[in-house]
Amino acid sequence: MKNQIKLLLLGWFLLTSSCELFHRNDPLICTLDAAFCNPLLQDDKNKVGIPVDAFLGSLPSNLSEQEIIEQLLEWIICKTCVASIDFSCVSCLYSMPPQSRIGFSITKNGQTQSLALDVLMSEQPRFVRVFELPD
């Protein structure tokens, strides 16, 4: 029984780590790295919307809101400047139409900075803003 549990845990570890490695190298998911990271690293956050909107526009139109945010999470986490995804919520910000939020951390000059990215969940989802979260 202990060996079965160990094998199960080993299999889970290999599966999850290989998925992360796969997505980090997936050319369809990991696009527009410099276009996303450079504005964040240069404090020009208004330009972050261009690659985000390009990615959102490339998604199939039949995805659910949850699937859209899951795809966006995968796209963000494979960026070289992104240290971690801290949280996400789907259509949790009350507006018309609702907005989703993704919290993530970047590494900038050896320091970690926490940011939030908001997406308008309209018929064609689009970037709203990215901003620094208070400590």
pLDDT tens, per residue, the chain with 135 residues: 444 443 344 343 433 433 444 344 455 568 899 999 999 999 999 899 999 999 999 999 999 999 999 999 999 999 999 999 999 999 999 889 999 999 999 999 899 999 999 999 999 999 999 999 987
CB environment 74-112: b (16+ within 10 A), e (fewer): bbbbbbebbeeeeebebbeeeeeebbbbbebbbebeeee
- How distant is the alpha carbon of residue 112 from its chain centre? 16
Q: Do both 97 and 73 map to the same domain?
A: yes
What is residue 135's predicted lDDT score, i.e. its pLDDT?
77
Q: Which residues contact 32 (CB under 8 A, 6 or more apart)?
A: 51, 54, 55
Note whether 23 and 74 are within 8 A (CB): yes
What is residue 13's predicted lDDT score, i.e. its pLDDT?
40
What is residue 133's predicted lDDT score, i.e. its pLDDT?
94
Q: Do both 53 and 25 map to the same domain?
A: no
Taking the C-alpha atoms of residue 12 and residue 23, their distance in angstroms, rounded to an integer, is: 17
Q: Do both 4 and 50 map to the same domain?
A: no
Note whether 39 and 45 are within 8 A (CB): yes
What is residue 31's predicted lDDT score, i.e. its pLDDT?
87
Q: Do both 67 and 17 map to the same domain?
A: no
Domain count, the chain: 2
Q: Do both 40 and 25 map to the same domain?
A: no
Q: Which domain holds residue 17?
A: 1-29
Taking the C-alpha atoms of residue 23 and residue 75, their distance in angstroms, rounded to an integer, is: 8
Q: Report residue 71 as tokens.
A: 């795809």
Tell me the pLDDT tens digit for each residue of 77-103: 999 999 999 999 999 998 899 999 999
Q: Do both 7 and 38 map to the same domain?
A: no
